[in-house]
Amino acid sequence: MIRSLDPSDATRIFDIIERATKLSEVPIGPVWSRTQVEEECSRGGYVFELADTAQPVTAFVFVWDIGSAWEISFLATDPAARGQGLMKQLLQHVKSNKPADKPLWLEVHEKNGPARKLYESFGFKEVGRRPRYYSDGGTAILYNFGP
């Protein structure tokens, strides 16, 4: 089930981010603090819940409406639930719910090949780069979907 994000989801989402960061074989971006996650949870986004688990929030996407566009600031799937297509479903939900006249933006570490492949499979187009953007010196790849 996909539902809107709620501030009460912050603890579970923080846990997902911490575990995903530790277990990732590719750079996934900056380390987020609990306070940042709580702030993001109050701004908007979606979570994927699996009803029959002890930890129902299994994947999430933070989405901001920044006026002229929507921006995805962070997304992740619980490492134990990867490979089930949950993020594909969440991204499709975001694409289906964004206003048609607003583009959808996101950025990703240049070395995060699996994420880049996923975004490109959804029709996101590379539109720019931010050299040395990440703390490891990596470049941020900017993606856009929509008008």
What is the CATH code of the structural domain delimited by 2-145? 3.40.630.30
Is pLDDT at 54 greater than 80 in this prediction? no
Average confidence score pLDDT of the chain: 90
Q: Say which residue the tokens 């993020």 belong to.
A: 87
Predicted TM-score (pTM) of the model is 0.89
Burial pattern 27-56, b for ≥16 Cβ within 10 A else e, equals: bbbeebeeebbeebbeeebbbbbbeeeeee
Strand partners of residue 45:
62
Q: Domain spans of the chain?
A: 2-145
Cα–Cα distance measured from residue 100 to residue 117, given in angstroms and rounded to the nearest whole number: 23
> What is the C-alpha to C-alpha distance for residues 53 and 1, in angstroms, rounded to an integer?
12
Q: How confident is the model over 5-51, as pLDDT tens digits?
A: 888 899 999 999 998 888 888 877 777 899 999 999 988 888 887 65
